[in-house]
Chain A
């Protein structure tokens, strides 16, 4: 057993984790970052489109400010967010984007002069704004607010952030997976960690622990998320019994995942003027959403697409099923090869399609989890002192039931900055005595778990990958864009059966060293618990709000459901305990979003 001691243990080296580590280090804390992969490979690097911040530098952004950004975010969330958090976020985003610029992000800049937009409108960027950070259009926003670096925004941000981590000499222990938190149901003292190079177990003791492990998208199988987004951090928080996951039923489906590989093509395609077309080459979004067209919020566009395919307007691909077209041909060779070059590469490599001349086959695909480890406005987790969370794995909660494009990258950096500093202050002001016996017990529990799995080698039982794929199928079939009571009940029943079966998993290999089969087997029960939190939460919530759409309860119900689901998992149970808490409303009372089904019905 190897023991490491630090002030703050950060689990996850994406944008949120690294920004938080830097903030805590600035408070004088001794920080260690753990990462499943070399930090520059974290999934933040795949964010293409951009980061929202109300700089108001480009023509279509004039008049923008933190109030408008706040309002767009609350409407986007379908009033499911905490408005004090959304306000803090909107106010901090411009500082965060400028700080990243100071550290080296090559943001695209305003070029002064007249230009004609895709819709024929003529605009003129003013000379005094020339050279300031520019922005592109994204869904659900009143102004052009999404700052970008070509369509490699996440890559540029993550590289810059990791470079700062290197400059500040903050150690990153990569190929390490936190598999359990060390805690006594009151305070968190660090984590038990499995080394993915040789399978050895390590104890990390810390005064505070900050989880920043991103989403769990891969439990849906068909997801735009990276392979490593398996909900490892959310899983170990839920395992404590005392920390709840918030709003797990709030799952975002992105309108433009490509067929086959489910890789994302950015919302920037539509933001820059791309269209969605059906089998008759009809631009159907104009009819459904006359005002926002392709740029209503993601939940709305995904539903319109699914509905349109249900009506028979989809294109049938013999191998991958139905899809619609994304058309960016009219943006032209130069634009696609500069501002959408990743999209070009993805289309070429994974579809054999040249988007300058051909259409891109797309459909709604699991993309983001609004839910996660429930924290207060400081990022401090409910239920455990000294446990913090930031970024996609957290339910901080600025996204409510639908996140706007460009707000996730922004959240990672803003929350990293704020929560990292709060964790640093917590460490400064709290004397933490770590009872070593708790660390030893937590370590031994994981050794037992691993040894008993290894002992199943070659015995008859359930196949790890088979259970994994069954879970993916159940979620994808029953807890997707459109939901109803029957299908959700089916999901709950089948997942419960699977959760029972997972106890009988056996390994085909000896599970020695850094066995990938053992790693998958270890993650499975926690993934099923999360899948059950999603399904139970969705079944219980008898209304439609943001991305959670119930065909049997198609209206938002503010009287009964203007609240947040909190899912706790008691040890030994096969279902979560669901509690509810009110959302914080400080400025904007529930109303009309200005797009979506409710808005169109009123007209």
Chain B
């Protein structure tokens, strides 16, 4: 028997502050294998074309559609309605600036995070178009890719108690970005250089270790392990 879903959605448009935030309930017939992407698209096309939300790849690759589904950060595109009771509620990710309804501005936050941690290969070497590439072991390349798989969806940030109390905290995504370049042999920054960036209360040492980031990462990146690694490296650098 197909279920009759009652989906409560947070509604607010920051351009119209005179209209207070509210909840609207949409009724949707569930279909087999339905995801929240399908449910929300149905709502926009048939029930309420003013509803704002973000989907891009709808294949859990781009990280656009993170939202709180019954209170927990999830990628809506790959989350099936069948995993929830028939009455379910959707809220925008906390912490990020609200664009409207379920849409939040993750882009600005992630760009400033990248700028802050220097999220690129720092090297004095010039690229030589006539030379063959520098060698690297396949194992090393795979280890870097493992940490390069973050899709900047913001689930780890939204779920982080520290950053919700202390907005300057760099967050798991920021520390992961540091770790990704720290293990890359092409990046010439030393542990001390990295310490200057994240060896602070707003950086690595601000983490309270609650590890919701690890629980909510939809790409299952080993955040706990990498956070511990950077904390260890930073502690070593501090005592040098």
Contact = CB atoms under 8 A, between A and B. Distances in A.
B103 to A, nearest CB: 9
A215 interface: no
Contacts of A342: 61
B58 A226 contact: yes
A261 interface: yes
Contacts of B228: none
Contacts of A42: 56, 62
Contacts of B105: 175, 197
Interface residues of B, number: 64
A435 interface: no
A106 to B, nearest CB: 4
- Residue among B49, B63, B115 having the largest count of chain A Cβ atoms under 10 Å: B49
A95 B15 contact: no
B184 A156 contact: no
A133 interface: yes
B141 A106 contact: yes
Interface string B67-106: 0000000000010000000000000000000011000011
A170 to B, nearest CB: 11
Contacts of B107: 37-39, 41, 174-175
B8 interface: no
B29 to A, nearest CB: 14
B59 A263 contact: yes
A352 B82 CA distance: 12
B13 A513 contact: yes
B135 A319 contact: no
A462 to B, nearest CB: 14
B141 A37 contact: no
Interface residues of A, number: 71
A465 B45 CA distance: 6
Given A227-B56, A260-B33, A517-B49, A108 B141 contact: yes
Contacts of A131: 135-138
Interface string A289-313: 0000000000000000000000000
Contact of B62 (A41, A107, A260): A41
Given A102-B127, A103-B121, A131-B136, A37 B54 contact: yes
B57 to A, nearest CB: 5
B61 A227 contact: no
Contacts of A488: none
Contacts of A77: none
A346 B125 contact: no
A515 interface: yes
A263 B132 contact: no
A226 B121 contact: no
Interface string A85-112: 0000000000101110111101111110
A119 interface: no
A584 interface: no
A46 B62 contact: yes
B60 interface: yes
B120 A164 contact: yes
B121 A106 contact: no
B141 A107 contact: yes
Contacts of B190: none
B60 A109 contact: no
Given A40-B151, A350-B33, 10 more contacts: A38-B110, A40-B62, A133-B133, A152-B145, A156-B148, A166-B119, A349-B78, A350-B59, A352-B33, A514-B100
10 contacts: A38-B107, A98-B129, A104-B181, A106-B184, A110-B138, A111-B138, A156-B148, A342-B61, A349-B60, A507-B49
**7 nearest A-B residue pairs (beta carbon):** A38-B107, A131-B135, A517-B49, A106-B144, A163-B120, A109-B138, A349-B78
Interface of A: 37-43, 45-46, 55, 95, 97-99, 101-104, 106-111, 130-134, 149-150, 152, 155-156, 159, 163-164, 166-167, 172, 174-175, 197-199, 226-228, 260-261, 263-264, 319, 338, 342, 345-346, 349-350, 352, 464-465, 507-510, 513-517
